[in-house]
Amino acid sequence: MTNLTRADLWSLEQYAEKRPDFRAQVMAHKKTREVCIGSNARLCFEDETTIRYQIQEMLRVERIFEAEGIQEELDSYNPLLPEGQNLKATFMLEYDDIDERKVMLQNLKGVERQIWAQVGDRPRIVPVADEDMERENEEKTSSVHFLRYEFSADDIAALRAGESFTMGIDNHHIQPNSILLEDPVRSALIADFA
């Protein structure tokens, strides 16, 4: 997948007109790219559509219209695009209750190193987490992490041949701690491989 450029984006005025329809389209698209593990852990697998939406929203909220500012947003978000042999996800730990969130982020310290993907019965794929910055401190983890899963050519071929695709988290605070991916999510993620 190639990086997004300024030519791929709408101006603030154009986006204001297109936003309602585009937002509805993106929300439907995201449903085919989300994986929930347990009731509080959610992965949103990014692609060109989700990243374009995120950039457009940032430009809108921050009222960025100058070339330099637009390029900064592109430079910040383009690294989240899958590159043909990997999947990239925003991983969120979601707790509505503030007190529960505080306790669970302490209990889940290191969770970004406990999450995995697996093709059939092949070795688990543990993602590279938070390449942009450290998101954990001595006391707790962050509620948001950015993950990059690298798949071998054999893994990709096995997925295309119909082998199972499972994701999970080895942490007793997340239950159930694994999920077998089914369509349309499975197909959407496999389509990210070049």
Alpha-carbon gap, residue 113 to 168, rounded angstroms = 11
What six digits make up the tokens of 44? Answer: 């949103």
Distance of alpha carbon 31 from the chain centroid: 12
Percent of the chain at pLDDT > 90 equals: 88
**Can you give the residue ranges of every domain in the chain?**
1-31+48-81, 85-194
Question: What pLDDT, in 10s, does the model give residues 92-137?
Answer: 999 999 999 999 999 999 898 899 999 999 999 999 997 665 666 6
CA distance to 95, 157, 184, per residue, from 161 (Å)? 37, 6, 16
Considering the entire predicted model, what is its pTM?
A: 0.90
What are phi and psi for residue 147, nearest 5 degrees? -120, 145
C-beta separation of 104 from 154 below 8 A: no
